[in-house]
Amino acid sequence: MEIIENVYQLDCASHGHVFFIRSDEGILIDTGMPGLVEKILAELEALDGAVQTIKKILLTHHDIDHIGNAKALQDATQAEVWAPQEDVPYIMGEKNRPGIKRILQTISRPPKPHISGCYLVNQNFGEVRVIHAPGHTPGHTIFQYRNVVFIGDLFQEIKGRLDLLPRFFIWDQEEAKRSISIIKELQYDWICPSHGMPIKRGTVTENFLKNF
């Protein structure tokens, strides 16, 4: 699904969305649940051979439904994989995920990608701006490209409304709420959550954000 020109939400990843930004250096944001690599590659190939353009894979955080195909996509595209420094130990299996996520990681352990780099303060990848937004996880990161903000799991869209994810999925709820307030400082037209549909700026977004 094309959100704006050259920005796509891949249809094959319905739980934990994968976004593609077509540019001189093609960028993937997150990689979906494990086992989707062939579908992701096929969908990208259908976008005029976009697989060949992928140079960066940007992970918002360490959850399995975001890193599930990072290693396989890196192998297929030779792209760099970038991640928040605070979340790398969880991605690499050096730390156990807290709470219910520890149980989930015993069920699914995605292959570990090579982490090419960790985000720096005020870093950009071309027109993609990196914004530190911790709370859901210690290093949770969001991105802005032109008038679109990719918010990871900062909050979710459910049937036209916005809400926090369940508390047991959130590392630090107060920190997450502070990070949500960052959105109010940005100039944007679209919010793209990892769970739910893209939502255009308007009454729904303003009513939600005024609580933070």
pLDDT in tens, 95-130: 887 766 655 655 667 899 999 999 999 899 999 999
pLDDT of the residue at 110 = 86
Q: How far apart are CA 74 and CA 54, in angstroms?
A: 9
Whether 12 and 36 have beta carbons less than 8 Å apart is answered as yes
- In this prediction, what percent of the chain has a pLDDT beyond 90? 85
Parallel, antiparallel or unpaired: strands 26-29 and 54-58: parallel
Q: What is the mean pLDDT of the chain?
A: 93
Q: How far apart are CA 22 and CA 200, in angstroms?
A: 21
pTM, two decimal places: 0.95
Furthest CA-CA distance within the chain? 43
**Residue 180 pLDDT grade (very low, low, confident, very high; cuts 50, 70, 90):** very high
**What's at 162, amino acid-wise?**
L
Q: How many CA atoms lie within 13 A of 28 on its CB side?
A: 33
Per-domain boundaries in the chain: 2-209
pLDDT of 40 > 70? The answer is yes
Burial class (CB in 10 A: 0-12, 13-18, 19+), 180: buried
pLDDT in tens, 48-106: 878 889 999 999 999 999 999 999 999 999 999 999 999 999 999 898 877 666 556 55
* C-alpha dihedral (191, 194, 196, 200), degrees to nearest 10: 10
pLDDT of the residue at 105 = 59
The dotted CATH code for 2-209 is: 3.60.15.10
